Chain A
Amino acid sequence: MSSDRLDGDTNGIARQRPMYTESQVIMTTVKAVIPFVLTYGLFITFHGTSSPGGGFQGGALVASVVLMIAFAFGIESTREWLSNSLVVGLGTVGVAIFAGIALVPMALGENFLDYTAYYPVLGDTLGLKEYEFVKYGMEAVEIGGIAFIVSGVLMGLFFALAAGVTPPSGTASDAAEASDSDGETDVDDGETAGDTATEAGENE
């Protein structure tokens, strides 16, 4: 796709940046750096209650690992490596976990997100004190909720931006124009017929 545009502007008015250039320096640097960034991201996520940071910052760092891999080794190959269900699943499961942890206390007759509501039910089983339920409830929300949502959505936004706009149907823009003129038909029959004819002529 990008190579087409590259060929089109050899006259020097504007030039297109290539989407991906294989670089030994970037690939080596990314290979060396990503284990540390991933570990740091997970550390920040898991230590959100006892040190600066939390699910949002950690999730962003974990997502930035995928972004770095994509920049070094090509966005298309990274997109094929990560399945869509993983990226969407991270975000959706995150919302489900957060909402689940928040709603179960309501089912138990307490307030929304009242972590202490878990204490009478699970206190003996897990052997935790009442305030510890708040701590581990917050951990669960940070890790299973916010970190999942943020990392999934950031990865998804990245791939969606890289892919750009997909035409509604088919490959050419003819489909879009056809559906446009269909919409106009309901409003004004006479003009639309003429428009469609003109557009058909232009397309051919």
Chain B
Amino acid sequence: MSVAVGITPIEASLFVFVLLTAVLTALFRDVLASIVVFAAYSLGLALLYTFYRAPDVGLTEAAIGAGVTTVFLLLTIAKTTRPASDARFESINWPAVGVCGLFVLVVGATLPAFPAVGDPASPILANADVTGYYIANAYDETGAENAVTAVLAAYRGFDTFGEAIVVFAAGVASLLVLGREVFTA
């Protein structure tokens, strides 16, 4: 019934890469090193999304996570001072590690309840009132080859409108917080 989907070596190495960069982001004492490793983490995550057939999410992660966020963070630390310390890594706060480990265990305990990747018996495909409708009718009704865009811009266009307004509001709010009237001088 359930299709056993193994994990390919590339996916496994990407998982290891993402985990490693995530831990290193927390460990590096120099903020610049943290930001560079964080960009690598976003890139690994973007590749992982692409391997799991979510290229739209992968593109967003690459453009926003690895690209723009890195630039914004670099810009922010350019305005700060760096501590002149020779230590390469932060000292580890073991109680915090314990709490994080406990959280990972609790969340990880729900993992066996998930269906395998691509399992046709998974609830989202088996009870396909909504998903199945999109897959069956998106092309005929909207003429869009990319069903994700059909959902985002047509079926769920109202949500997307709200998201676009949120982005605009974020720009306005940043000007208000910074006490500026114009973006560029």
Q: What is the bound-complex CA distance between A71 and B183, given in angstroms?
A: 17
Instruction: For the complex formed, measure the closest distance between the CB of B158 and the CB atoms of chain A, giving whole angstroms.
Output: 6
The 8 closest A-B pairs by CB, nearest first: A52-B55, A135-B143, A153-B171, A14-B81, A138-B153, A156-B183, A49-B144, A60-B63
Q: What is the bound-complex CA distance between A15 and B185, given in angstroms?
A: 27
Assess whether B78 is in contact with A50, with CB atoms less than 8 Å apart: no
Q: Is B140 an interface residue (CB 8 A)?
A: yes
Q: What is the bound-complex CA distance between A83 and B185, given in angstroms?
A: 8
Q: Is B114 an interface residue (CB 8 A)?
A: no
- The answer to whether A57 and B68 touch (CB under 8 A), given A14-B84, A19-B78, A94-B164, is no
Q: Is B124 an interface residue (CB 8 A)?
A: no
Which chain B residues have a beta carbon within 8 Å of chain A's beta carbons? 32, 55-56, 58-60, 63-64, 67-68, 71-72, 75-79, 81-84, 140-146, 148-150, 152-154, 157-158, 160-161, 164-165, 167-168, 170-171, 174-175, 178-180, 182-185
Give the A-B contact count at a CB cut-off of 8 A: 186
Assess whether B164 is in contact with A145, with CB atoms less than 8 Å apart: yes
Determine the main DSSP class of A at the interface with B: helix
**Residues on the B chain within 8 Å of A80, using CB:** 184-185
Which chain A residues have a beta carbon within 8 Å of chain B's beta carbons? 2, 5, 9, 12-19, 44, 48-54, 56-57, 60-61, 63-64, 67, 71, 76, 79-80, 82-84, 87-88, 91-92, 94-95, 98-99, 102, 112-113, 115, 131-132, 134-135, 137-138, 141-142, 145-146, 149-150, 152-168
